[in-house]
Amino acid sequence: MNENDISAYKKITAPSSIKERLISESAKERKNHHVKAAFCYAAAGIAAMIIFAFTFFWNEGASLYLNGDEIGGKNVFVYENSSVAVARTFTASRVTIPLKTDKDAEITVSSGMIVIDGEDMGQKIKTKKNAEFIWMFEGEADGYQLEVKTDKKSSLYSISHKEGTEKFYIKKVN
């Protein structure tokens, strides 16, 4: 390619009006947030103490939820040849599992990808508390794993596939 074209192309910059819009929208959002926050401080303080005590004495890891139910050591049915399109790269043979964690956590999957808001985020992502994400993969899936890691604890979940069917299950393995 012509070097002059490349350097001319790079002279094009984003108009400052975009930044102004974003700053103004975030300022409005913060103002709303502050008003709401003022009413919630007392309740939040008490809740934080309870949560702190709870997590400190009992469970320091993040739990994983499927359709609002916590996934434990028993197999939970996750999929039956659904045709819901959740990502741009969707194909009919893909397995899609909508999940959520209850704490800030690092999520890693052994196969497939993590999708948030329709965007492929790769195989490793940091999520915020209560963030919803989708684990999407292809193939037989037996033994595919998902790790949920917090500062304190790591939990592993595993997929199994019922032979001859389109049925998939997930359970916590440690």
Partner 1 sequence: MSRSSHDEINAVYDKYSDTMYRIALSHLLNKEDAEDAVHDVFIKYMNGSFAFFSEEHEKAWFIRVTVNHCHDLMRRRKLRSHAPLEEAMEVFAEAGTSDTMREILTLEDIYKTPIILHYFEGYSVEETARMLRISVSAVKMRLSRGRDKLKDKLSGEI
Q: Which of 55, 131, 150, 171 binds partner 1 (CB under 8 A)?
A: 131
150-157, long-range: CB within 8 Å, 24+ apart, which pairs? 150/60, 150/61, 150/62, 150/103, 150/104, 150/105, 150/106, 152/55, 152/60, 152/61, 153/59, 153/60, 153/61, 153/62, 154/61, 155/61, 155/62, 155/63, 155/64, 157/64, 157/71
What gap in Å lies between CA 61 and CA 41, rounded to an integer?
A: 25
Q: How far is the CB of 119 from partner 1 (least distance, A)?
A: 6
Please report whether residue 34 would count as binding partner 1 according to CB under 8 A: no
Residues 6+ apart with CB under 8 A from 135: 96, 97, 99, 109, 112, 113, 114, 115, 146
Judged by CB under 8 A, the stretch of 20-28, 35-43, 54-62, 149-157 that binds partner 1 is: 20-28
Judged by CB under 8 A, the stretch of 3-11, 42-50, 61-69, 147-155 that binds partner 1 is: 3-11
Q: How many CA atoms lie within 13 A of 138 on its CB side?
A: 6
Pairing of strands 76-80, 69-70: unpaired
Q: Which of 82, 116, 147, 169 binds partner 1 (CB under 8 A)?
A: 116
Task: Tell me the site size for partner 1, rule CB under 8 A.
Answer: 42
Q: How far is the CB of 106 from partner 1 (least distance, A)?
A: 9
Q: Which of 50, 126, 162, 173 binds partner 1 (CB under 8 A)?
A: 126
Please report whether residue 6 would count as binding partner 1 according to CB under 8 A: yes
Q: Which of 18, 42, 43, 92 binds partner 1 (CB under 8 A)?
A: 18
Site for partner 1 in 38-77 (CB under 8 A): none
Q: Which of 43, 58, 68, 88 binds partner 1 (CB under 8 A)?
A: 88
Residues at the site binding partner 1, with contacts judged by CB under 8 A = 1-2, 4-6, 8-15, 17-19, 21-23, 25-27, 29-30, 33, 88-89, 116-117, 119-122, 124-128, 130-133
